[in-house]
């Protein structure tokens, strides 16, 4: 959810850290940025350590460590598998790099034999640390990440059974990069009904897929909380879904809306709850720091929260 290592602890280079199965640290360097729409900015990262990066595709996530506003690059007190989390938590709030989960939009090899990854950020002002950083990202800025060292890893959540004969998808803007990456990898002829919610009309990005997709864009325009969720449910209730013997449902976005959509799918569309994969990427009214605090509440400082990747 990439080049020369940022200043590392004495004697430790990020690209020399032993591989952690299935995740390890990577040093990422901004190569370029590109505005995709009103709300989306693509940041392309490179770096020597990415030679060991193994994205599993689809909705593959990784954890980024972004520097505080007064720092240019990310510096972590430890990148050792056994000590990094306790060391990171011990950093004073004003100096601690912000950890955020993002989707690997694409990984590719370059003509020169290197590796690049794209990550699409949603820009929504400076109140969000990730939006603040992305809006000021320039070539040469360096951050750290924990990402996959093997392609088969738990941070790929889209896993439809082999017998699946139709897909139902809902994503808001935070999950749109994951949804777009999923669509690109689907087999030709796969039947998909998709509902993608975005804040602005020009956030309806062009999407490429070999699948047979019936796509409905939901442009939010105004409203939040219950009003927003009800608008999404109204669109879904009015939609005619194709008949299917073994549908698979993938839902991702704001946690409250996702819960409501899941209830609709299970209780009103009568889809087996075991066929529904749902992930709350964020929660209205809660910062990711608060969500992380909940994740490791009661844990010892040395315990890595399950939500870290």
Tokens of 149: 């060292």
Q: Are residues 139 and 213 in the same domain?
A: no
Do 59 and 118 fall into the same domain?
Answer: yes
Residue reference for tokens 């309806």 = 204
Total structural domains within the chain: 2
pLDDT tens per residue, range 290-304: 666 665 565 544 444
Residues 193 and 266 in one domain: yes
Query: Does residue 308 register a pLDDT over 80?
Result: no
> Which pTM was predicted?
0.86
Residue 309 pLDDT level (bands cut at 50, 70, 90):
very low
Q: What is the pLDDT of residues 181-224, one digit of tens each?
A: 999 999 999 999 999 999 999 999 999 999 999 999 999 876 56
Q: Tens of pLDDT along 234-251?
A: 999 999 999 999 999 999
Render 30-65 in DSSP notation, one character per residue.
EEEEEE-SSSEEEEEEE-GGGGG-----TT-EEEEE
Coil vs helix vs strand at 81: coil
Kindly state whether residues 18 and 145 are assigned to the same domain: yes
Q: Is 208 part of any domain? A: yes
Q: What are phi and psi of 252, to 5 degrees?
A: -155, 140
Return left, alpha or beta for 211; rule: phi > 0 is left, psi -120 to 50 is alpha, else beta. beta
Domain boundary, last residue among 114, 130, 154: 154
Task: Report the distance separating Cα 42 and Cα 46, nearest Å.
Answer: 13
CATH number of the structural domain spanning residue 31: 2.40.30.10
- CB contact set of 263 (below 8 Å; sequence gap of 6+): none
> Range of 38's domain?
14-154
Task: Judge if 101 and 213 occupy the same domain.
Answer: no
Rg (CA), the chain: 20
């Amino acid at each position: 959810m990439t080049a020369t290592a940022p200043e590392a602890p004495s004697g430790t280079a990020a690209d020399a850290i032993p591989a952690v199965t299935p995740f390890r640290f990577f040093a990422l360097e901004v190569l370029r940025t590109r505005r995709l729409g009103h709300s989306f900015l693509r940041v392309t990262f490179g770096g020597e350590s990415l030679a060991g990066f193994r994205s599993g595709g689809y909705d593959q996530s990784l954890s980024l460590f972004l520097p505080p506003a007064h720092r240019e690059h990310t510096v972590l007190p430890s990148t050792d598998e056994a000590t990094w989390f306790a060391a990171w938590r011990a950093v004073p709030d004003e100096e601690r790099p912000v950890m955020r989960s993002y989707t690997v939009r694409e990984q590719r090899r370059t003509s020169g034999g290197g590796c690049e990854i794209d990550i699409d950020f949603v820009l929504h002002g400076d109140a969000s640390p990730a939006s603040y950083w992305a809006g000021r990202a320039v070539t040469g800025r360096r951050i750290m990440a924990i990402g996959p060292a093997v392609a088969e890893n738990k941070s790929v959540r889209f896993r439809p059974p082999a017998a699946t004969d139709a897909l139902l998808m809902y994503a808001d803007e935070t999950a749109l990069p994951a949804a777009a990456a999923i669509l690109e990898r689907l087999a030709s002829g796969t039947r998909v009904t998709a509902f993608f919610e975005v804040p602005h009309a020009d956030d309806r990005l062009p999407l490429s897929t070999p699948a047979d997709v019936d796509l409905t864009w939901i442009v939010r325009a105004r409203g939040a909380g219950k009003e927003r969720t009800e608008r999404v449910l109204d669109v879904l209730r009015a939609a005619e879904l194709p008949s299917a013997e073994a549908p698979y449902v993938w839902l991702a976005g704001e946690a409250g809306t996702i819960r409501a959509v899941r209830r609709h799918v299970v209780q009103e569309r009568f889809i087996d709850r075991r066929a529904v994969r749902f992930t709350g990427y964020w929660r209205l009214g809660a910062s990711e720091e608060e969500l992380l605090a909940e994740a490791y509440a009661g844990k010892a400082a040395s315990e890595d929260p399950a939500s870290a990747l």
